[in-house]
Structure 1
Amino acid sequence: MKSYLSKLICLFFTVTLLSLSFGALSALAFQPEGCSGDCTGCHALTKEEAAKLLHTDKYKAVVKDIKLSAVKGLWEVSVSQDGKIITLYIDFAKQYLVEGRFIPLEEIGKGPELKVVDPASIPLESALLIGDKNAKHKVIVFDDPDCSFCAKLHKEIKRIVKERADIAFYIKLYPLPSHTEAYAKATAIVCAGSVKLLEDAYAGKTLPKPNCETDEIDNNLKLAKELGIGGTPATVLPDGRLLPGYVPADVLIDLIDSPLEPKTESK
């Protein structure tokens, strides 16, 4: 069955209402003639109007929100269907539908901005330590024992601590819900406090059953959610930058050696 968006686009093509080319947009849609700085003084689009224009009743969809787009001359319309939110754009003249994402030209070529968290908010008492506990740079990694990319990153971590005695890694076990056996494995590893068991898990070996009762894993799951971590591996650098996914050793070292400039409070 086609999605609401694909059906909607087909419908708009049929009635010649759809245009994805800005060149085809009418001058009326983008001319601020007679408008003040607030475009809503001259233009308006209600949820009822948007629903009628988008034929939402045919697709059991609901218009949830309407606001001015970052691009002048367009309304940004959020439509909900089957629990999913679809973002569409309607021009001020209400003649064209635009589907897609607007990217500022100044952002092209730039990497995504990394989230920054507070490393001090992450307890390390029960974390697995790889490296010297007195190392200057402490890096925290959220790992899943059944995560192949975690296993790949683990090899890079072992390489880094061999080359750099001033860098240590603290491993927090974070079993993903999609890995049904990971919770028991993570618990067994935490109970034993063993990096070797973690490496056995990465190697596909059978781990012993947990031999203790601990709330460490549940606490890690809660903490990861609070920090906005949804996947593994997730690496927290000493300056708080949060790196999602696998990162090669050389890149990781460069990031550790190039911390963010500390923010100075303005007087």
Structure 2
Amino acid sequence: MLKQFAVGICALLGAATVSAQETSTEDKIIKALSEARPDFEFTDVRPSPIDGLYQARVVGGPVLYVTPEADLMIAGEIFAVEKGGFARYEDPAMIEQRKQLAASLDEKDSIAFAPEGETKAVVYVFTDVDCGFCRRLHSQLNEYQDGGSTKPGYNDLGIEIRYLAYPRAGVGSPSAQKLETAWCAEDQQETLDRLKNLQSVETKSCENNPVAEHYRLGGEFGVSGTPALVLPNGKMQAGYVPPEQLAEILGI
């Protein structure tokens, strides 16, 4: 009897151990976040650069820093404290993931604006035609006036801009329809020019347009707003960057 009782206790302890192993901290965090906000998709849960916290990414949103108990979290960015000031910290794993994703992109799926001369760098830009800073970036593809002086644009500096669609209001929104119109047009560049210059364009639709796929892809890249610039080294620059500053960042 005692022997059978001992065997039973060991079996229960073994089952408890297996159960504990099956419910990892990462699983616990995903479960808690998903129960709190079932309308969000959470992914990439792993230990964060800050000891004691885990990080989880909201697809199409920010990175969250969560306690192991999944009862508290911080939403925002991490900054490295350096001698010259504060610098935005980027997760090396995310940078590598972006490099691999960017390498898998097909240029034909983008709307590209290339330099007439040598292309020194290619930058993918997630864009929305109803975004003011996106329109500002587009207006500076070639030389432009700034404060009474003429400055070189992105193409003038050897930077090729390849646009990807990212309707901030989501797939099915009026912004998404405008982007679909550009990608379905016979002359994609001219149509995107007109849309970004707030000119009227006849609405078009077509099968296999990439807007929904680009929007999903933006979530994988960690895009949460536009413009979002994916650099050749896998880093992402959130927001508008003037041409000469971007050239400096790219080292060209």
- Relative to the length of structure 1, the TM-score reads 0.54
Say which of 234, 241, 248 aligns to 1:247. 241
Q: Could you tell me which residue of structure 2 aligns to residue 41 of structure 1? A: none
Once the 2 structures are TM-superposed, how far is the Cα of residue 214 of structure 1 from its aligned partner? 2.4
Measured at CA, do residues 240 and 212 of structure 1 come closer, stay the same or move farther in structure 2, by a change above 3 Å?
A: same
Q: Could you tell me which residue of structure 1 aligns to residue 127 of structure 2? A: 143
Size of the alignment, in residue pairs?
168
RMSD: 3.2
Sequence identity (%): 24
How far apart are the structure 1 equivalents of 2:112 and 2:169? 24
Once the 2 structures are TM-superposed, how far is the Cα of residue 248 of structure 1 from its aligned partner? 1.1
Larger Rg: 1
Q: Could you tell me which residue of structure 2 aligns to residue 231 of structure 1? A: 225
Once the 2 structures are TM-superposed, how far is the Cα of residue 207 of structure 1 from its aligned partner? 2.1
How far apart are the structure 1 equivalents of 2:70 and 2:84? 27
1:151-190 matched pairs, under 5 angstroms:
151-159=135-143, 160-164=153-157, 166-177=158-169, 180-190=173-183
How far apart are the structure 1 equivalents of 2:81 and 2:200? 51
Q: Could you tell me which residue of structure 1 aligns to residue 34 of structure 2? A: none
Kept in 1: contact 2:129–2:196 (CA 8 A): yes
Measured at CA, do residues 124 and 103 of structure 1 come closer, stay the same or move farther in structure 2, by a change above 3 Å?
A: closer
Say which of 106, 110, 116 aligns to 1:123. 106
- Whether 2:105 is the aligned partner of 1:112: answer no
How far apart are the structure 2 equivalents of 1:228 and 1:151? 21
Kindly provide the amino acid, as one letter, of the partner of residue 188 in structure 1: T
How far apart are the structure 2 equivalents of 1:110 and 1:142? 26
How far apart are the structure 2 equivalents of 1:251 and 1:151? 18
1:1-267 matched pairs, under 5 angstroms:
85=72, 106=82, 109-114=85-90, 116=95, 117-118=98-99, 119-132=102-115, 135-159=119-143, 160-164=153-157, 166-177=158-169, 180-192=173-185, 193-257=187-251
Measured at CA, do residues 211 and 222 of structure 1 come closer, stay the same or move farther in structure 2, by a change above 3 Å?
A: closer
Once the 2 structures are TM-superposed, how far is the Cα of residue 113 of structure 1 from its aligned partner? 2.2
| SS at structure 2 position matched to 1:125 | helix
Once the 2 structures are TM-superposed, how far is the Cα of residue 156 of structure 1 from its aligned partner? 2.7
Once the 2 structures are TM-superposed, how far is the Cα of residue 251 of structure 1 from its aligned partner? 0.8
Kindly provide the amino acid, as one letter, of the partner of residue 153 in structure 1: L
How far apart are the structure 1 equivalents of 2:109 and 2:170? 24
Measured at CA, do residues 148 and 125 of structure 1 come closer, stay the same or move farther in structure 2, by a change above 3 Å?
A: same
Measured at CA, do residues 77 and 127 of structure 1 come closer, stay the same or move farther in structure 2, by a change above 3 Å?
A: closer
How far apart are the structure 1 equivalents of 2:128 and 2:110? 13
How far apart are the structure 2 equivalents of 1:169 and 1:154? 9
- State the structure with bigger RCO (CA 8 A, min sep 6), 1 or 2: 2
Kept in 1: contact 2:107–2:162 (CA 8 A): yes
Structure 2: 5+ residue runs without aligned partners? 1-49, 53-66, 144-152
Deviations 1:12-38 (A, max 9, x none): xxxxxxxxxxxxxxxxxxxxxxxxxxx
